[in-house]
């Protein structure tokens, strides 16, 4: 049969590398195997983790079932108002300068944020690298352009701040700078408050726009308010910017797709324009964001008791991540593993950007059944008291022999 397919332009695409890693892990029969690849929090016991505040909220929701009717196109009002408070704090959230849309979690927030900026005439993006692998594809997907600069120096294992400043100083006016507020993915290297101040100043001076992606709020300091420092500082500076917020990690609501995009509009007269544009754009993509996860989040936002439980959950998780980091450093020091390993405790959040080479990462898998990503990003939460020593010995071996 010689029918030419109407889809003859299609080629078969390779799966996401992380999906390949996860498949290898799933098929590995070794009892010692360690998964430190995908960015999902794991408990000390090594399994999946349901936040206690979410478990409680599920019961509350089941007992007060509102059903599954259509929500608002902007999103569930209680969710929007709670999400604003989490990102901007009570005071600024109440000032009426925000246009917000409930989205399909963080990816959806970024996508709707990028589409919104395109509509407003801003299509020229700057991004510090290395960065989350999806950003560039997402920006180019909607036809905007992206220029990269160095965010992180692989040799010193620290932020390359001169490169950040020089990008801000040289970018044309109206360019968009995409930053992560905390727990940088994949490097774990965050800007200090002094550095944020400098960035804010340059954004203002040079008439640039920022997109602040906040996917791990709370996992840096253990305190969600502290981790939102950059957002609130930019707000105080009178900047106009976009915040893309996800509750995948800090409420563990991954699969429920709970997120929000906010545009800060300093001249309140234009808030309705921004708001109606966000909604109109969403109408032709999704119509509504999913209700269930946002309802769970709203219950937690509105209940002082559950909010307290949530604060404790986040603090405990962060504490565990820090303890594990410390252990990794201690064990590597004890093993006298060649090289300098301080960055494991200097970096923040879920990820340790190990600096291991691709060959060493491959060997971690082939010789030790330890699965990190090919770029050497280790999900610290995949480690626990039972496997941390095994993991460190594996690192020691590959550093010495590969």
Site for other proteins in 57-86 (CB under 8 A): 58-59, 62, 65, 67-71, 73
Name which position in 53, 54, 378, 388 contacts other proteins (CB under 8 A): 54
At how many degrees (to 10) do helices 161-170 and 193-205 cross? 10
For the four alpha carbons of 79, 84, 85 and 90, in that order, the dihedral sign comes to negative
Using CB under 8 A as the binding rule, whether residue 176 contacts other proteins is answered as no
Between 177 and 216, how does the x/- string for binding to other proteins read (CB under 8 A)? ------------------------------x-x-------
Task: Name residue, tokens 């029969």.
Answer: 29
- Can you tell me the distance from the alpha carbon of 366 to that of 368, in angstroms, rounded to the nearest whole number? 6
Nearer to other proteins, 314 or 392 (CB): 314
Residue 101 binds other proteins (CB under 8 A): no
How many residues line the site for other proteins (CB under 8 A)?
81
Tokens of 214: 């906040």
Tell me whether residue 122 or residue 152 sits nearer to other proteins (CB atom): 122
Residues 213-242 close enough to bind other proteins by CB under 8 A:
238, 240
Which stretch, 49-57, 193-201, 227-235, 318-326, contacts other proteins (CB under 8 A)?
49-57
Site mask, other proteins, residues 272-311, x = CB under 8 A? xxx-xx-xx--xxxxxxxxxxx------------------
The correct pick among 13, 27, 29, 64 for binding other proteins (CB under 8 A) is 13
* From candidates 253, 261, 297, 378, binder to other proteins by CB under 8 A: 253
Closest C-alpha among 238, 361, 293, 288 to residue 72: 288
- From first CA to last CA, the distance across the chain in angstroms is 51
Q: Which stretch binds other proteins (CB under 8 A): 114-122, 223-231, 363-371, 385-393?
A: 114-122
Residue 381 interacts with other proteins (CB under 8 A): yes or no: no
Q: Rounded CA gap, 397 and 402, in Å? A: 8
Question: Does residue 90 interact with other proteins by CB under 8 A?
Answer: no
**C-beta of residue 381 within 8 angstroms of C-beta of residue 180:** no
Tokens of 23: 């498949």
Q: What are the residues whose beta carbons fall under 8 Å from the beta carbon of 311, sequence distance 6 or more? A: 223, 224
Please work out, in degrees rounded to the nearest 5, the angle formed at the alpha carbon of residue 18 by the alpha carbons of 137 and 314.
95
> From the CB of 140, what's the least distance to other proteins, in Å?
8
The reply on whether position 396 binds other proteins by CB under 8 A is no
Dihedral angle over CA of 272, 278, 284, 289, nearest 10: -110
């Amino acid at each position: 049969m010689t029918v030419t397919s109407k889809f003859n332009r299609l080629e078969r695409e390779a799966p996401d590398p992380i999906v390949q890693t996860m498949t290898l892990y799933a098929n590995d029969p070794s009892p010692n195997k360690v998964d430190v690849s995908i960015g999902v929090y794991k408990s000390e016991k090594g399994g999946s983790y349901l936040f206690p505040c979410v478990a409680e909220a599920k019961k509350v929701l089941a007992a007060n079932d509102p059903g599954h009717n259509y929500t608002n196109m902007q999103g569930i009002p209680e969710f929007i108002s709670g999400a604003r408070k989490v990102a901007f704090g009570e005071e600024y959230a109440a000032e009426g300068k925000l246009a917000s849309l409930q989205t399909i979690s963080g990816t959806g927030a970024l996508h709707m944020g990028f589409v919104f900026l395109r509509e407003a005439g801003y299509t020229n993006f700057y991004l510090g690298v290395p960065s989350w692998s999806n950003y560039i594809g997402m920006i180019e997907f909607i036809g905007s352009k992206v220029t990269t600069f160095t965010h992180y120096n692989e040799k010193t294992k620290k932020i390359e701040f001169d490169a950040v400043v020089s990008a801000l100083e040289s970018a044309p006016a109206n360019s968009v700078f995409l930053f992560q507020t905390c727990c940088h993915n994949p490097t774990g290297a965050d800007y200090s408050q002094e550095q944020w101040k400098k960035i804010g100043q340059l954004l203002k001076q040079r008439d640039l726009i920022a997109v602040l992606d906040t996917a791990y709020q709370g996992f840096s300091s253990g305190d969600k308010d502290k981790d939102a420092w950059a957002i609130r500082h930019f707000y105080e500076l009178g900047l106009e910017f976009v915040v893309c917020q996800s509750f995948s990690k800090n409420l563990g609501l991954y699969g429920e797709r709970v997120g929000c995009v906010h545009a800060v509009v300093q001249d309140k007269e234009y808030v309705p324009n921004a708001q109606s544009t966000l909604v109109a754009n969403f109408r032709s993509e999704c119509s509504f964001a999913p209700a269930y996860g946002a309802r769970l989040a709203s219950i937690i936002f509105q209940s002082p008791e559950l909010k307290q439980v949530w604060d404790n959950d986040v603090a405990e998780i962060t504490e565990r991540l820090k303890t594990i980091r410390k252990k990794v450093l201690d064990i590597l020091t004890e093993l006298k593993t060649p090289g300098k390993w301080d960055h494991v405790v200097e970096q923040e959040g879920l990820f340790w950007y190990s600096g291991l080479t691709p060959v060493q990462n491959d060997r971690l898998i082939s010789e030790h059944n330890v699965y990190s990503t090919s770029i050497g990003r280790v999900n610290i939460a995949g480690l626990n008291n039972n496997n941390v020593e095994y993991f460190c010995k594996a690192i020691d071996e590959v550093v010495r022999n590969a």
